[in-house]
């Protein structure tokens, strides 16, 4: 079975055409596109470049709400439910939906793969907001496919089943997740992708009083949405959302933005070490920044000596492997996220081919 996996972000679109045959996965084509003219047009363009016709298409969908598990076959009724979730995902939702619609004409099954599913194991103390129950809001968590893929790869690399880990998915969107015995027990993102770490254009944790103040002093829900999703984070601190040029700059704004970014990550790591009650085996770096920048990894990991992490040899060429020193009580690893391969496998299973089928 050939499964085309489309992983749409706010500004880029990644895709992989994966042949799923039993437990064997083979990548036939992959790419990354800048979304200069919209998701639908980008998807239509990539469909014309594939070396083989897909038997199914799977789209990573960020917010699954309470209705959806890992994957769902897309029908008109499912699309209506996805549309109802768009207010919770204004940064990605409209574009992902446009890309999804651009593949329905192919005449093959279309699957939605939900980022929130991995975090459905959150215990009530990590899931609940301390607001009246009638508000019907709670924490969901995101980057679930990334967390699951690096956890499974860690098990492959170490032979340690059901591990307890802290996964740092660091990119333009960033999150930290505490995994105990193979299950997500806390994560930094909540109802939306705004909560938690400082990100490229999102603020992360913020006092709700700040939002009330902004609404009282001239902002509308629409302008506040734009401020929080597109004009905050590193962009607000240093005029740049990409960590790479910030690392090359020598000015105080860039230095402060990077320090705040790393400080917020360390703050969550400390909290999750407590959540895991000393059982954390490793700190996993993934995502564009986590995989690509040894400088950022070093700024996060080196101050964690108090937690038993002895930072070892690391450089930007380290694509996968252990980066903590021998004998380090808490290990550190770089593991590339393999969301698309995992989604392809689960989509094939959904469509009735055990392990994918031939």
Q: Which residues are catalytic?
A: 115
Using alpha carbons only, how large is the chain's radius of gyration in Å? Answer: 20
DSSP assignment string, 85-145: TGGG-TTTHHHHHHHHHTTGGGSS-EEEEETTGGGGG--HHHHB-SS-GGG--B-----HH
Q: Pseudo-torsion of CA 159, 14, 340, 29, nearest 10°? A: -100
Alpha helices in the chain (DSSP H): 39-47, 76-84, 93-101, 124-127, 144-158, 208-216, 221-230, 233-238, 243-248, 252-275, 287-292, 294-301, 339-350
In whole angstroms, what is the distance from residue 344 CA to residue 145 CA? 11
Q: What share of the chain is helix, strand, coil (3-state, %, to 5)?
A: 40, 20, 35
Enumerate helices (H) and strands (E) in the chain, giving the number of each. 13, 12
In whole angstroms, what is the distance from residue 35 CA to residue 176 CA? 26
Cβ proximity of 351 and 2 under 8 Å: no
Strand order across the 174-180 sheet: 183-187, 174-180, 165-170, 282-286, 331-334, 321-322
- Angle in degrees, 0-180, between the axes of helices 221-230 and 208-216, rounded to the nearest 10: 130
């Amino acid at each position: 079975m050939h499964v085309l996996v489309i992983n749409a972000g706010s500004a880029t679109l990644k895709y992989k055409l994966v042949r799923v045959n039993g437990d064997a996965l083979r990548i036939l084509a992959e790419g990354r596109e800048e979304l200069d003219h919209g998701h639908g047009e980008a998807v239509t363009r990539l469909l014309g470049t594939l070396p083989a016709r897909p038997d199914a298409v799977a789209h990573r969908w960020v917010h699954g709400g309470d209705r959806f598990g890992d994957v769902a076959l897309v029908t008109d009724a499912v699309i209506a439910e996805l549309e109802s979730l768009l207010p919770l995902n204004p940064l990605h939702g409209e574009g992902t939906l446009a890309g999804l619609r651009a593949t329905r004409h192919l005449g093959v099954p279309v699957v939605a793969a939900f980022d929130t599913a991995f975090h459905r194991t959150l215990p009530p103390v990590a899931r609940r907001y301390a607001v009246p129950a009638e508000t019907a809001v709670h924490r969901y968590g995101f980057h679930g496919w990334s967390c699951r893929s690096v956890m499974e790869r860690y098990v492959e690399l170490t032979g340690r089943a059901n591990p307890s880990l802290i996964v740092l998915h660091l990119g333009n969107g960033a999150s930290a997740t505490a995994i105990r015995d193979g299950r997500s027990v806390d994560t930094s993102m909540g109802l939306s992708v705004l909560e938690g770490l400082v990100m490229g254009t999102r603020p992360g944790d913020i006092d709700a009083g700040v939002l009330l103040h902004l609404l009282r002093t001239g902002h509308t829900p629409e302008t506040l949405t734009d401020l929080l999703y597109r004009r905050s984070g590193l962009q607000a601190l240093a005029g740049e959302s990409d960590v790479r040029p910030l690392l090359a700059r020598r000015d105080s704004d860039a230095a402060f933005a990077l320090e705040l970014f790393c400080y917020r990550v360390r703050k969550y790591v400390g909290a999750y070490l407590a959540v895991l009650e000393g059982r954390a085996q490793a700190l996993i770096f993934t995502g564009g920044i986590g995989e690509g920048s040894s400088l950022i990894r070093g700024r996060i990991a080196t101050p964690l000596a108090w937690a038993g992490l002895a930072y070892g040899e690391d450089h930007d060429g380290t694509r996968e492997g252990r980066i903590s020193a021998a004998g380090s009580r808490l290990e550190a690893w770089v593991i590339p996220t393999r969301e698309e391969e995992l989604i392809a496998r689960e989509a094939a299973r959904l469509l009735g081919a055990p392990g994918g089928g031939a």
